[in-house]
Amino acid sequence: MSHKILVSDPISEEGLKSLLDNNEFEVDIQTDLSEEELINIIGNYEGLIVRSQTQVTDKIINSASRLKVIARAGVGVDNIDIEAATLKGILVINAPDGNTISATEHSIAMILAMARNIPQAHQSLRNKEWNRKAFRGVELYGKTLGVIGAGRIGLGVAKRAQSFGMKILAFDPYLTEDKAKSLDIQNATVDEIAEQADFVTVHTPLTPKTRGIVGESFFNKAKPNLQIINVARGGIIDEEALIHALDNNLIDRAAIDVFEHEPPTDSLLISHDKIIVTPHLGASTVEAQEKVAVSVSEEIVDILTNGTVEHAVNAPKMDLSNVDETVKSFVDLGTTIGEFAIQLLEGAPSEIKITFAGDLATNDTSLITRTIVTNILKEYLGEEVNIINALALLNQQGVTYNIEKQKKHSDFSSYVELKLTNDKDQIKIGATVLAGFGPRIVRINDFSLDFKPNEYQIVTCHKDKPGIVGQTGNLLGSHGINIASMTLGRNNEGGDALMILSIDQQASLDVINILRETGGFNRIISTKLTI
């Protein structure tokens, strides 16, 4: 029996060759289908291939009785209801590598067009004007390019910019000094890029950490001649702050290919004299469209014939019915300690060590490992990370990891310990699941303690002295933040101490800053966990 695949958006037949030439697959190409038309036929198919036109809604997904995989021939999956697919157990895959060259080259094209006023000069000449002085540009040679996000595309732009004689400053949480040195680029903070760069390009995923990473603060530090582009994701550059910076001559100009809301029908960006815009063309080349089609077609063959998954965007709900009860109880704990540890660590890890001890160590712990790593990586890489691709993405970031198993633990029948290390910091989290009490964090670095993880925590490091607990409680109370529980740890009287406050509402940055100003704290961290 052949696998039936529906292609509902225009895709080149050359890109679909691995499916069309395979006798085990039957491919139907039906484009411009309405939601109702898709609902009526989707039950016949095991695979669905789309680009950006088809909106794969929850109604379509819930009508898909046989569907095993939805493939987006491209990178973005905003047109697919990921949550509905996940709940239905349907894999969603994309082609993250297919547009690398195209997006890289479009970034360079935007930089050059912006630097030399090419769109404006073109339009002026079309209007039968000859105004050379109005469109005087600047050279790239000798200028500094700031690259925020040094992944495949960011480093591709940096390499090409170096051929123009540009100096490269790069920010990426996973960019090490050794890697930067080998690429002849300088590792920098976002603030250093703001202060020193003549040109800036952004190439990060859109996550809570990167949303608005280039915003008011960045523009206030920037050189007035700064020119900035975004060919990554709308929202990385704060659009309102960008308009303000251009209107007040804080920076010189911008080139934007992506927008917070697309199409940007009422955006001031598309009519601003100092901005050149393109309609999300980063991946719009003949070669890129063929590459992404080839990629998803080949992966659909692998998924439906071999069960091999490489580029999953989601991870369908895990079936834990046949998993050992001890392992099952630690899977959710893996999410907690992964999230907690990465929020406590200053920067991204270069090394990860996971230790399993006691009864837990005698079981297959691969699912727990993948869960922990997934939730570490999500802090910087966002929702593209899941239990299927986590270890591959970890390797891609150059992070080493080590698993250790011990037959016994001195205090607990089963125990897991996560250690994250980089060149500035180290965090160790020990945890267990206690019968009748559930998940417990029992160690943070060298402090032994016992607390039940909550959605919101404030973690402080300070010297053990009278008054710290009282002033903290009073301050939180004055801002309407209720303390659910408090856990204290210290190694000796008057020495280093740790306090964990589980709170009912997340503490704002303003509250954390007020706490810092009260003095007595070496470090204060606000955390949010998936509980």
Q: Which residues are known to be catalytic?
A: 233, 262, 280
Angle (CA) 364-367-373 rounded to 5° is 125
Matching residue, tokens 């039950």: 43
Q: Under 8 Å CB-to-CB from 517, ≥6 apart: which residues?
A: none
Torsions phi, psi for 57 (to 5 deg): -85, 170
**Taking Cα atoms as reference points, which of 82, 84, 79, 102 lies closest to residue 92?**
82
Q: 3-state class of 480 per DSSP?
A: coil
Distance (Å, whole) CA 382 – CA 264: 24
**Taking Cα atoms as reference points, which of 463, 348, 358 lies closest to residue 407?**
358
Burial per residue of 246-269, b for 16 or more beta-carbon CB atoms within 10 angstroms, e otherwise:
beeebbbbbbbbbbbeeebeebeb
Q: Under 8 Å CB-to-CB from 490, ≥6 apart: which residues?
A: 447, 464, 496, 497, 498
User: Which amino acid is present at 180?
Assistant: A
Q: 3-state class of 114 per DSSP?
A: helix
User: Which amino acid is present at 396?
Assistant: Q
Distance (Å, whole) CA 45 – CA 27: 9
**Taking Cα atoms as reference points, which of 96, 106, 384 lies closest to residue 230?**
106
User: Which amino acid is present at 315?
Assistant: A
**Taking Cα atoms as reference points, which of 307, 311, 251 lies closest to residue 275?**
251
Distance (Å, whole) CA 1 – CA 125: 62
Q: What is the DSSP letter of 316?
A: P
Q: DSSP secondary structure string, 339-366?
A: HHHHHHSSS--SEEEEEEEEGGGGS--H
Q: Are 462 and 522 in contact (CB under 8 A)?
A: yes
82-90's contacts with Cβ under 8 Å and 24+ in sequence apart are 82/313, 82/314, 82/383, 83/58, 84/57, 84/58, 85/56, 85/61, 85/314, 85/316, 86/314, 86/315, 86/316, 86/317, 87/317, 88/61, 88/62, 88/64, 88/316, 89/316, 89/317, 90/61, 90/64, 90/316
E strand or H helix that includes residue 48: strand 47-50
Distance (Å, whole) CA 192 – CA 402: 34
